[in-house]
Amino acid sequence: AVGSAAMAEGEGLLSVDYEVFGKVQGVFFRKYTQREAQRLGLVGWVQNTSHNTVRGQIQGPTARVRELQEWLRKVGSPQSRISRAEFSNEKKITALEHKDFQILK
């Protein structure tokens, strides 16, 4: 696993905020997002907003972050209907700012 850690180091870590619009509340969207993030080894958080969107932050190796962005844009949970996903505050980071991927209330 030493090689893979060095590789992740080489491509750097990315942090990006996201907000997903559409039918994304009451459809287990947060749970699925957490599961997908954990599968990809990413950290961050997800929460419902008061205006019926889901938002959060993802951090991890750039390629993995890109995978989750794609998932948030196109896949989501089985019952969800994503109209669009917006990403902001993208930046390179030197260390992860979260220990795991949490669902916030």
Active centre residues (catalytic) = 30, 48
- Crossing angle for the helix pair 29-40 and 62-74, to the nearest 10 degrees: 150
How far apart CA 3 and CA 6 sit, in angstroms, is: 5
Strand partners, 39: none
Dihedrals phi, psi of 32, to nearest 5 degrees = -65, -35
